[in-house]
Amino acid sequence: FDADRSLPGFHFVPWPYDWMNDPNGPMWDPVHEKYHLFYQYQTPRMWGHAVSDDLVSWQQLPMAITRQKDYDEGGDFSGSGTIMDDENKTP
- 72 belongs to the catalytic site: no
3-state secondary structure of 83: coil
| 25 in Cβ contact with 10 (< 8 Å) | no
> CA 88 to CA 67: how far, in whole Å?
29
CA atoms within 13 A on the CB side of 27: 14
Q: Which of 18, 22, 53, 85 is catalytic?
A: 22
Of 46, 90, 91, 78, nearest in space to 64 by CA: 46
Name the residues annotated as catalytic.
22
